[in-house]
A and B are shown apart, each in its own frame.
Chain A
Amino acid sequence: MNDPYKVLNVPSTATDEEVKKAYRELARKYHPDNYHDNPLADLAQEKMKEINEAYSTIQKMRHQSGGQASYSGQGGYSRSSYGGYGGYQQADYSQGTPFQRVRFAIQRNDLNMAEQLLSAISDHTAEWHFLRGAICMRRGWLDEARRSFQQACAMDPGNGEYRQALERLENSGQAYRPAGFEVFTSDCGSSNLCGGLLCSYCLCNSCIGGTMCC
């Protein structure tokens, strides 16, 4: 296994508090919510496993007895699912309801199969729209995904799974960002935000001999 301190990007002299802070920052970065319906979810899951193991190892090294308890307190991060379609441990496409088969295909990242299975279902229920949205998400067709999730939520407003999918897509400030990064594309207008861009022009111009003034 890699040096656990290297994995958490802290020196071995870091205090318990610093180790914990570094762990939390990384766990927030690779949190399943940031990789839901993402074709790279498996890579994020690997990262998370590595981080959890590194933190656990450091805890064990430092607190031979009490460490385990404090680590398991953080376990919530590793429990959430990256695919969001867990619980369907089927072996092939012949099992389960039609919707379960679609979920199974999505989980395996077999999007063409998922689409094919979905198009064979004529009853366009809320779940149908939700699953269409999930397929669009993975393909990167984010506008269609949003419309499908909206449709699913409109048809079944009480469903938490559909609402969460829509909220994740619309973000509302939940996704990970490093400290100090706060700008969003704003739909309510704020004119002082392009300041940093002008600096970029400067950066550009200084390289080509400053032929344009900014």
Chain B
Amino acid sequence: MFGYVRPAADHLSEEESRAYKALYCGLCHTLGRRYGGVSRWILNYDFTFLAALLSGTVATEQRRCIASPFRARTAAVGNDALDLAADCSVILTGYKLRDEVLDSSFLRSQGCRAAGAVLGGAFRKACERRPRFAGHTKEEMARLLSLEQRRCATLDEPADTFASLLAGIAGEVEDPVQRRVLTQFLYHLGRWIYLVDALDDLEKDAGEGQYNPILLRCGLQDGKLSGEDRRSVVVTLDASIRQMAAAFELWDFGPWSGVIRATVYDGLYRVGNAVLEGTFHASPRKKDRGGKKEHI
């Protein structure tokens, strides 16, 4: 479900790209510091985007790491926002792995079980640090499971679980206005991610008989969505992106404004297009961009 949130690179200045990379490195170091080296493999750009939404100005430092042992890279110095992003990343990944154990073929589920066992200690620690968010995530995942079991045929209801789950991260933020803006932003980010993932898995789920709300809501003709159904999905995806953009304009995200702008006014639309056209995986395959193996 992860890997879809990307800023459009051509709308970023050199400086913004550099700062975003430094944030990525900073989040990686934060994960390592808080949860040990093995937790670093969960890192991906979606979690970096989360860190951008939560961070204001960050200091940077030069650090070497396992991916760059000889040349030091610029990395954001850890702060409360990176800690929060790291904690939530571990909790989300932990639940995602559990979900896949239930959801997958035997071999794949064994893989997820093993990964879950490796992450287990980190997951427990993160849940202790963020009991409110962990409890909330548990509830929403249970709600999603029950919707899947009764094969709920609407888009909004199952999407609401993942959307509410992400929106729950905003509950950890102090400022009341920032919390409201982030709640709305993260709700629609979660909704969009859930639906774009369902769109992405449409053919696979149809073949394997897996739960897919778009499949149940729309049905396929000759293995494809009808023109009208395609439009319904596009309208609802774009409407969520516009809600994110509208929320974005109501809070000053400081140095991360450029990255967020390049995501909500362009990047997400491009990802949606690529998924719709079936070209999203033309580059790295899905399992390679799920935030797992490539970061070791």
Chain A positions near chain B (C-beta within 8 angstroms): 29-30, 34-35, 38-40, 43-44, 47, 136, 139-144, 146, 169-171, 175-178, 180-181, 183-187, 189-191, 193-194, 196-204, 206-209, 211-212, 214
Contact = CB atoms under 8 A, between A and B. Distances in A.
Contact of B238 (A47, A180, A185, A200): A185
A146 B250 contact: no
A214 B284 CA distance: 8
11 contacts: A40-B246, A142-B191, A143-B217, A187-B231, A190-B273, A194-B273, A197-B280, A207-B24, A207-B25, A207-B67, A208-B295
Interface residues of B, number: 69
Nearest to B66: A209
A43 B250 contact: yes
Given A181-B265, A199-B9, A208 B240 contact: no
* 3 smallest beta-carbon distances between A and B, as pairs: A199-B9, A185-B272, A141-B156
Contact of B67 (A38, A191, A203, A209): A209
Given A142-B240, A185-B237, A194 B250 contact: no
A183 B273 contact: yes
B154 A144 contact: yes
B149 interface: no
A129 B246 CA distance: 25
B10 A43 contact: no
Given A34-B242, A194-B270, 16 more contacts: A34-B246, A140-B160, A140-B184, A140-B187, A144-B154, A146-B239, A169-B239, A178-B265, A181-B11, A183-B8, A185-B237, A199-B8, A200-B8, A200-B267, A203-B17, A207-B67
Contact of B10 (A187, A199, A207): A199
B245 to A, nearest CB: 8
Interface in B246-268: 246-247, 249-250, 261, 265-267
B239 to A, nearest CB: 4
Contacts, number: 171
B21 A30 contact: no
Interface in B276-290: 276-277, 279-280, 282-284, 288-289
Interface centre among B45, B217, B227, by most A CB within 10 Å? Answer: B45
Contacts of B247: 40
A203 B13 CA distance: 12
A183 B274 contact: no
B163 interface: yes
A70 B240 CA distance: 37
A29 B227 CA distance: 32
A199 to B, nearest CB: 3
Given A34-B246, A39-B184, A43-B177, A194 B280 contact: yes
A183 B20 contact: no
Nearest to A199: B9
B277 A197 contact: no
A184 B239 CA distance: 11
Nearest to A144: B156
B113 interface: no
Contacts of B163: 140
B235 interface: yes
B21 to A, nearest CB: 5
A190 B279 CA distance: 11
A95 B195 CA distance: 41
B156 A143 contact: yes
Nearest to A42: B180
Contacts of A211: 294
Contacts of B289: 201
Contact of A140 (B227, B241, B243): B243
Contacts of B271: 197
Interface centre among B163, B177, B273, by most A CB within 10 Å? Answer: B273
Nearest to A46: B250
Contacts of B279: 191, 194
Given A203-B21, A208-B67, A212-B288, A196 B8 contact: yes
